[in-house]
Amino acid sequence: MFDKEPKVKRIGIIAGMALASLAAPSFAKNADIEEADFAFEHVSCTGAENEIRVIVSGVKKSAGLVTVDLFPNREEGFLRGRGRLDQVKFAAKAPETKLCIHAPESGLFAMSAYHDENANGDFDKTGLGLPAEAWGISNNPKVMFGPPPVEKALFDVNAETGAHVHIRLN
């Protein structure tokens, strides 16, 4: 999400993310997703080792794609295209899009997601460099004046049981 950008442009994006997170509507009905909610079927879910079952809530319309990126437990490259381990894109389904992604091994990972409403393959930004599409990060950390450190987004993937991740879009 934050590939090479001029420092001024990046500051605008970060400020916009902070404002968007403060003004984002509450998704209370999705705030308490239960274990049973992760028992869904999707073409991406194969039951393989290290499978991460993902629920992305706050999807406003069933248009475009929901893109999910998987990152290693490393600050360097977090939220940058070059730093991701894997990416999946599936048709957006409101109010929640459910899918699976597979980690290369057991361990700690982080994730980001965005709703690419126009399905152009990019995380669109406004003329001021602010996010123009809804986005979220694993563990749903509060974003104030910049992207959170990777530690705030980490979750554990077990080879046998995988992981369950809920991301709320801002």
1 falls within a domain: no
Model pLDDT for residues 9-34, shown as the tens digit of each residue: 444 444 444 333 333 322 233 356 88
Q: Check if the beta carbon of residue 138 is closer than 8 Å to that of residue 28.
A: no
Model pLDDT for residues 111-160, shown as the tens digit of each residue: 999 999 999 998 998 888 788 999 999 999 998 877 899 999 999 999 99
2 falls within a domain: no
- H or E, element range at 12: helix 7-23
123 falls within a domain: yes
Task: Name the residue range of residue 157's domain.
Answer: 7-168
Instruction: Tell me how many domains the chain contains.
Output: 1
CA atoms of 150 and 154, how far apart (whole Å): 6
- pTM, full prediction: 0.79
